[in-house]
Structure 1
Amino acid sequence: MAALCSDARLVPRGKGQKTRWTVEGDPTEGALLVAARKAGLDLDELQRSYARCHEVPFNAGDRCMTVLSRDQQGRQLLITKGAPEVVLDRCDRVRWGGQVMPLTPARRRLLEQRSEEMAGQALRVLAVAYREDGEAGAPLIFAGLAGMLDPPRPGVRQAIARCHAAGIKVVMITGDHPATATAIARELGILTPGGMVLTGRDLETMPDEELDRLVPAVQVYARTSPQHKSRIVRAWQRAGGVVAMTGDGLNDAPAVKEADIGLAMGQNGADVTKDAASLVLADDNFVTIVDAVEEGRTIYANIRKAIRYLLGTNIGDVFLTATAVLAGLPLPLLPVQLLWLNLVGDSLPALALVKDPPSPGIMRQPPRQVRSDFFAGEFSRQILTRGVFIGLGGLFLFALKLYLTGSVAAARSLALAGLLAGQLFHLFDCRLMDGGGQGYFSNPYVLGAGVWTVVTMWLTFMSRPVRGLLHTVPLTGSDWLLATVTAATTGGTALLLG
Structure 2
Amino acid sequence: MSGYFVIPWRRRPQGSIIGRVDVSAGAVPPSVQDGADVARSLAVDPATGLTSADAAARLQRDGRNELRAKAPEPLWRKILRQFQDPLIYLLLVAVAISTAAWVAEGADGVPVDALVISAIVILNGILGFAQERRAEAAVSALQSMTDATSTVLRDGELGSVPSAELVRGDILVLNEGDAVGADARLLSAAALRLSEASLTGESEPVTKNAAALTAEVPLGDRTNMVYRGTSVVQGVGRAVVTATGMATEVGSIAEMLDETREDPSPLQKEIAGVSEMLGIAVIVIAVVVMAVTSLVNEISSVRDLVTVLLLGVSLAVAAVPEGLPAILSVVLAIGVQQLARRHAVVKKLHSVETLGSASVIASDKTGTLTKNEMTIQRIRTSSGEVELTGVGYRPEGDALAGGRPLTDPALTREVRMVLTAGALANDAQLSCRDGDWQIQGDPTEAAFLVAARKLSGTVDRTQQFARRAEIPFTSERKMMSALVAHEEGIAVVSKGAPDVLLQRCVAVQIGDRVQPLDTDRRAAAMADVEELSGQAFRTLGVAYRWVDRPATDFDATDFDATDFDPADERDLVYLGVVGIIDPPRPEVAVAVAEARRAGVRVIMITGDHPVTAARIAEDLGIVGPGATAVTGTELDALSPDRLEAVVATTSVYARVAPRNKLQIVDALQARGEVVAMTGDGVNDAPALKAADIGVAMGITGTQVTKEAAKMILADDNFATIVTAVRQGRAIFDDIKKFLRYLLSSNMGEVFTVFFGVLFAGFIGLAAGSGEAIVVPLLATQILWINLITDSGPALAMGVDPEIDDVMSRPPRRATDRLIDAEMWRGIISVGMVMGIATLLTMDIFLPGGLVDGSDSLEVARTAGFTTLVLAQFFNAFNSRSETTSAFSHLFSNGWLWASVGLGVVLQIAVVHISFLQTAFGTTTLDAAHWAVAVAMASTVLWFDELRKLFLRRRGTGS
State the TM bucket, normalised to the shorter chain.
Answer: 0.7 to 0.9
2:654 paired residue among 222, 238, 248: 222
CA distance in 2, matches of 1:30, 1:393: 73
SS in 2 for 1:22: strand
1:281 aligns with 2:716: no
CA distance 1:173–1:265, change in 2 (3 Å)? same
How far does the alpha carbon of each residue in 1:216-264 deviate from its partner, in whole angstroms, 9 at most, with x for none? 3222223333333332222212221111122334554443343222222
Deviation at 1:439, TM superposition (A): 1.0
1:10 paired residue among 423, 426, 429: 429
Q: Is the 8 A contact 1:195 1:218 kept in 2?
A: no
Counterpart in 2 of 1:418?
A: 867
Where in structure 2 are there 5+ consecutive unaligned residues?
A: 1-420, 485-491, 545-560, 568-572, 761-765, 767-773, 848-852, 949-958
Map 1:91-170 to 2 at 5 A. 97=508, 113-121=527-535, 123-125=537-539, 145-170=577-602
Which range moves more in the overlay, 197-206 or 280-289?
197-206
How far does the alpha carbon of each residue in 1:443-484 deviate from its partner, in whole angstroms, 9 at most, with x for none? 111222232233333333334443333221222333223223
CA distance 1:116–1:392, change in 2 (3 Å)? farther
Map 1:200-215 to 2 at 5 A. 200-215=632-647
Q: Is the 8 A contact 1:233 1:255 kept in 2?
A: yes
1:175 aligns with 2:607: yes
2:858 paired residue among 409, 414, 422: 409
CA distance in 2, matches of 1:111, 1:45: 29
CA distance in 1, matches of 2:530, 2:885: 49
Counterpart in 2 of 1:290?
A: 722
Report the AA paired with residue 357 of structure 1. P
Counterpart in 1 of 2:920?
A: 470
Instruction: For CA contacts below 8 A with separation 6 or more, give which structure has more relative contact order.
Output: 2
Deviation at 1:306, TM superposition (A): 0.9
Deviation at 1:345, TM superposition (A): 2.1
Q: Is the 8 A contact 1:247 1:273 kept in 2?
A: yes
1:268 paired residue among 691, 695, 700: 700
CA distance in 2, matches of 1:463, 1:433: 38
SS in 2 for 1:216: helix
Deviation at 1:32, TM superposition (A): 4.8
CA distance in 2, matches of 1:250, 1:336: 60
Counterpart in 2 of 1:432?
A: 881
CA distance 1:267–1:43, change in 2 (3 Å)? farther
1:343 paired residue among 787, 806, 811: 787
Map 1:292-441 to 2 at 5 A. 292-327=724-759, 330-359=774-803, 361-403=805-847, 404-405=853-854, 407-433=856-882, 439-441=889-891
How far does the alpha carbon of each residue in 1:186-235 deviate from its partner, in whole angstroms, 9 at most, with x for none? 22211136855323444344433223213232222233333333322222
Report the AA paired with residue 440 of structure 2. E
Q: Is the 8 A contact 2:878 2:944 kept in 1?
A: no
Counterpart in 2 of 1:455?
A: 905
SS in 2 for 1:375: coil
1:489 aligns with 2:921: no
CA distance in 2, matches of 1:231, 1:103: 49
SS in 2 for 1:97: strand
Which range moves more in the overlay, 280-289 or 106-115?
106-115
Deviation at 1:423, TM superposition (A): 0.8
How far does the alpha carbon of each residue in 1:398-444 deviate from its partner, in whole angstroms, 9 at most, with x for none? 34433334622112101111102211221111113276775111111
CA distance 1:339–1:382, change in 2 (3 Å)? same
Deviation at 1:302, TM superposition (A): 0.8
How many residues end up aligned between the 2 structures? 472
CA distance in 2, matches of 1:423, 1:371: 31
Q: Is the 8 A contact 1:261 1:277 kept in 2?
A: yes
Deviation at 1:284, TM superposition (A): 1.6
How far does the alpha carbon of each residue in 1:133-160 deviate from its partner, in whole angstroms, 9 at most, with x for none? 889xxxxx99974422333334222111
Report the AA paired with residue 10 of structure 1. Q
Deviation at 1:178, TM superposition (A): 3.0
CA distance 1:256–1:442, change in 2 (3 Å)? same
TM-score (norm: length of structure 1): 0.79
Which range moves more in the overlay, 208-217 or 195-204?
195-204
CA distance 1:176–1:445, change in 2 (3 Å)? same
CA-based RMSD? 4.1
Q: Is the 8 A contact 1:389 1:491 kept in 2?
A: no
Counterpart in 1 of 2:688?
A: 256
How far does the alpha carbon of each residue in 1:144-189 deviate from its partner, in whole angstroms, 9 at most, with x for none? 7442233333422211111111111111222333333233222221
Deviation at 1:13, TM superposition (A): 5.5
How far does the alpha carbon of each residue in 1:296-337 deviate from its partner, in whole angstroms, 9 at most, with x for none? 111111111111111111111122112223345512222221
CA distance in 2, matches of 1:376, 1:427: 19
Deviation at 1:361, TM superposition (A): 0.9
Report the AA paired with residue 657 of structure 2. S
CA distance 1:92–1:157, change in 2 (3 Å)? same
CA distance in 2, matches of 1:94, 1:175: 31
1:446 aligns with 2:896: yes
Report the AA paired with residue 426 of structure 1. N
Report the AA paired with residue 424 of structure 1. F
Deviation at 1:10, TM superposition (A): 1.9
SS in 2 for 1:182: helix
Counterpart in 2 of 1:49?
A: 469
SS in 2 for 1:49: strand
CA distance in 2, matches of 1:145, 1:334: 88
SS in 2 for 1:50: strand
How far does the alpha carbon of each residue in 1:69-128 deviate from its partner, in whole angstroms, 9 at most, with x for none? 9989xxxx9x9957x8xx76x996666526999998x88976664344324545344578
Which range moves more in the overlay, 199-208 or 32-41?
32-41
Larger radius of gyration: 2
CA distance in 2, matches of 1:203, 1:367: 27
CA distance 1:236–1:424, change in 2 (3 Å)? same
Which range moves more in the overlay, 190-199 or 237-246?
190-199
CA distance in 2, matches of 1:249, 1:5: 29
SS in 1 for 2:846: helix
Deviation at 1:342, TM superposition (A): 1.8
Deviation at 1:33, TM superposition (A): 5.6
Which range moves more in the overlay, 420-429 or 20-29?
20-29
CA distance in 2, matches of 1:101, 1:274: 55
CA distance in 1, matches of 2:541, 2:727: 43
Which range moves more in the overlay, 220-229 or 386-395?
220-229
Q: Is the 8 A contact 1:123 1:180 kept in 2?
A: yes
1:23 paired residue among 419, 439, 464: 439
Counterpart in 2 of 1:61?
A: none
Sequence identity (%): 38
CA distance in 1, matches of 2:496, 2:592: 33
Report the AA paired with residue 662 of structure 2. S
Which range moves more in the overlay, 382-391 or 186-195?
186-195
Report the AA paired with residue 97 of structure 1. V
Q: Is the 8 A contact 2:424 2:462 kept in 1?
A: no
SS in 2 for 1:171: strand
Q: Is the 8 A contact 1:174 1:181 kept in 2?
A: yes
SS in 2 for 1:147: strand
Q: Is the 8 A contact 2:803 2:889 kept in 1?
A: no
CA distance 1:422–1:401, change in 2 (3 Å)? same
